[in-house]
Structure 1
Amino acid sequence: MTQLLLSIDWTPFLVSIKLSIITCIILFCFCIPLAWVFTFKQFRAKKILETIITLPLVLPPSVVGFYLLILFSKYSFLGNFLEKHFNITLAFTFEGLVIASCIYSLPFMFNPLYNAMSMISKNIIEASFSLGKNSFITLFKVILPSIKPAILSALVISFAHTMGEFGIVLMI
């Protein structure tokens, strides 16, 4: 049994774990302020942006991966620009895979955080502001502790979704 475990190439599993961890960290850091803005600010394009964020839920992963591969290739405007000016290649690289995974797993991190922040009473937030706390302190001392279950849920779902995603990995 030990001989069998030692003879297995663990590289794909370890790359998947690394990809999932990095994706979760990036999405968490990106989605907390994004959920804050969507919850507490009103702006014109809000519904359109919500639809764009939710789009990966309805599109097949291989389709998303295919279009991201085209977007990341050196023949597209973005791919050509990044390669020419910054010497960055995203197609068929781990960095490109991280960006693609972040795009595809975005709704799995954003939706639980946004829904939980939307459920917080405005009175609690106004009380924090009336006590002289700014938005940053209110976020870290009032809002985030109030939505711990949603944070845990978002992290677990995003990690599991990224771990199990094959269509994006196959394409990028």
Structure 2
Amino acid sequence: QAYSDIIAELKHRGVLRTKNVLGELGEHLVIDHYNSTPGLPKLQLAQTGTENVDATSRQGERYSIKSISRNVTGVFHGLNPPASNGSQKQLFEHVIIAKFNDTYQLEMIIELGWAAFLKHKKWHKRMRAYNLVLSKALLEDSKVVFEGSSS
């Protein structure tokens, strides 16, 4: 019962819009952090159901936000498969990864651009889509926007 009460309260406060609790929490915390931190772009939520775009900046840049509690993101659909020779349409300008620890405290927020995303994306054969692995190489090509004390 306590869990359902918490979910109901988070929906009432506008933190949750869907049943993807970790994803919604990550989007909420990322947007709040960006909007309250000088020097970072001001973000607003994209329409629910917009594929690969979770937020947009006032300058019109598109952001895909992924929340993780381990080291692998959810998948990105709409990209050319590995054997494709066609040019890849740019689906967003930035990926933001919100990394949570085992008790769902925010550990870090990192941001990478489209070129770094293309460099580090990994094919998920079963899902027939790409994901990202939070590796040392990916971190080196990313900007750490927030780092909590537990990292």
Range of TM-score over shorter length: under 0.3
TM-score normalised by length of structure 2: 0.22
TM-score, normalisation: structure 1: 0.20
Greater helix share, structure number: 1
Structure with greater strand share of residues? 2
Larger radius of gyration: 1
Structure having greater relative contact order (Cα 8 Å, sep ≥ 6)? 1
